[in-house]
Structure 1
Amino acid sequence: MERATTRPDASPSRLIAVTIAGVALIGLGVLLGWVILMRGEEPFAIDVWWNDLLVEWWVPAIGGFSRVMNWLGGGWFGVLAVPILGAIALVLLRRPWSAAYFLAAEIVSVAIVQVLKHLFGRVRPEEILVLSDVGSYPSGHVANAATIAAVAVVLFPRLWVVVVGAGWVVMMAFSRTYLHAHWVSDTIGGALVGAGAALVVAAAFWSQISRERADAAQRRIPVE
């Protein structure tokens, strides 16, 4: 018996929806940054409240966890090692276009974040506990986490991937504010930009990664 066929999900309507969603998320991130810029150096009330709360609520174990997240989400490991290792894993899974998509999404995400950081030039909280680059908005660590999570959902559309990805983004956002490296609004902006970049780039690779998803599913279907 022949294997059951699995058709790639590359319909124009799905492609348009992904593109619009990605552009909208990036647009919201830029809009939030513009509002922050117009307010000058004054953070939002929720930014001040959360930052002050964490100043009082310091637990060494959570601080250690946050420093681990700081290393995982940025620097050479988060920016270079994770994308390269992820791309290698996808190639080994016989999904080279997905690997190219992952690398492209990471590059675009980092580029947008750096442009916005220099454009808005927001000052970080005074209580910051780690060394960080210029510009508080948006959070590069959270943007990177959101990009990885969104790429994972695009490539492996499963509920558990969505849950794990969302948890990863939330943990990264919490750790950045726990170390006072960012305001809460910085992490929201990072999540918007990171996820948006992943979706916009996905649109450019949509037919190829849809075909690879279908091929991967085909290989899992047993011969009757």
Structure 2
Amino acid sequence: MDENAVPGHRRPPRPTAGVLPLGLLLTGVTALLAVVVYTDAGNPPFQALDERWLGWMGGPHEGITAAVATLLDWFGGPLGVVVPLGILVVLLVRRRWWSVCCLLVTYLGASALVVQGLKHLVDRPRPENPLVRVDHGSFPSGHAAGAAMLVVLAGALLVPAARRRTWWCAGTLFTLAMMWSRTWLHAHWLSDTVAGAAAGAGAALLLWRAFMPVLAREERGSPTGDRAPLAEPSPAVRG
């Protein structure tokens, strides 16, 4: 009997039920910020808030904060490739081909099309005198986008559903730390990091939702997702 047909009994909500709405919300936030900045890249409406925050990040740039910010800068650069490569190796060893496809499409496609596309389209000037080497365009933050994207990908593809709440909390703190480091290093405005984190997480959530049916079949261990038919009982069992 269907559990939903029993009076007073409701099936518990799926832990992934909010993936699509949250992905759409974060993507919408990114699009809205991009439109606002694009209209006046040199002086968007929240430029005063960005400059005030940057003033709070004035320093001194030394000690433990400098070490943490430098480490996070490396993580978002060449060192950051180690993490997705590590996830890729784990998935390949486990022969989770759909998970590999989801990882590659999200990490390569979203990073190249979303983040780099917005950087060249919006073309926002960076803060003066950044403390690290930077590329073209300040909006959005590629480091923040990459951090949020990896948090979602690792949670979706490697972390068991029962442990995801703890993972999301830890991943949020990590993404916030990355956002702080980009402004502390004067590499980005605060709004750049907000848009970057929203873009990375939003793209990863939407692609996770798109791959969810095949990922579920893969998790059940069948390439097609069809359960094997029950064996016909023997005459002895029938009797």
After TM superposition, give the deviation of residue 211 of structure 1 in Å. 2.9
Could you say which structure has the higher helix fraction? 1
User: In the TM superposition, what is the alpha-carbon distance from 1:174 to its structure 2 partner?
Assistant: 0.9
The Cα offsets for residues 55-85 of structure 1, whole Å up to 9 and x where unpaired, read as 14433321122111111112x332x332222
SS in structure 1 of the partner of residue 57 of structure 2:
helix
What is the rounded CA distance, in whole Å, between the counterparts of 1:105 and 1:40 in structure 2? 28
Aligned twin of 1:152? 154
Runs of 4+ more than 6 Å apart: none
In structure 2, the CA distance between the partners of 1:46 and 1:57, relative to structure 1 (3 Å rule), is farther
Q: Deviations over 1:80-125 (max 9, x none)?
A: 3322221111233453322321221111221210000000001111
1:2-81 → structure 2 map (5 Å cutoff): 14=17, 18-42=19-43, 44-74=47-77, 76-78=78-80, 80-81=81-82
1:167 maps to 2:170 = no
Structure 1: stretches of 5+ with no match in the other structure: 1-10, 216-224
What is the TM-score with the length of structure 1 in the denominator? 0.81
**CA positional deviation for 1:154:** 2.3
Partner of residue 129, structure 1: 131
Aligned counterpart, 1:204: 210
User: Residues of 2 paired with 1:133 and 1:93: CA distance?
Assistant: 36
- Larger RCO (alpha carbons 8 Å, 6+ apart): 1
Aligned positions, number: 201
Q: For 1:158-196, what per-residue CA distance to the aligned partner results, in whole angstroms no more than 9, with x for missing partners?
A: 211111111110111111111010011000000110011
% same residue: 37
Contact kept in structure 2, 1:152 and 1:165, CA below 8 Å: no
Which residues of structure 2 form unaligned runs of 5+?
1-13, 222-239
Query: Aligned Cα RMSD in Å?
Result: 2.2
Question: Could you state the TM-score of these two structures normalised by the residue count of structure 2?
Answer: 0.76
Q: Which moved more, 1:195-204 or 1:120-129?
A: 195-204
Corresponding residue of 2:193: 187
What SS class does the counterpart of residue 127 from structure 1 fall into? coil
Instruction: Give the aligned residue type for 2:98.
Output: W
Residues 87 and 154 in structure 2, CA contact (< 8 A), matched pair in contact too: no
Measured in 2, the distance between the counterparts of 1:197 and 1:123 equals 24
Q: Determine the C-alpha separation between the residues in 2 that align with 1:174 and 1:188.
A: 10
Cα separation, 2, equivalents of 1:114 and 1:29: 13
- Given that 2:140 and 2:193 are in contact with CA atoms closer than 8 Å, whether structure 1 keeps it comes out as yes
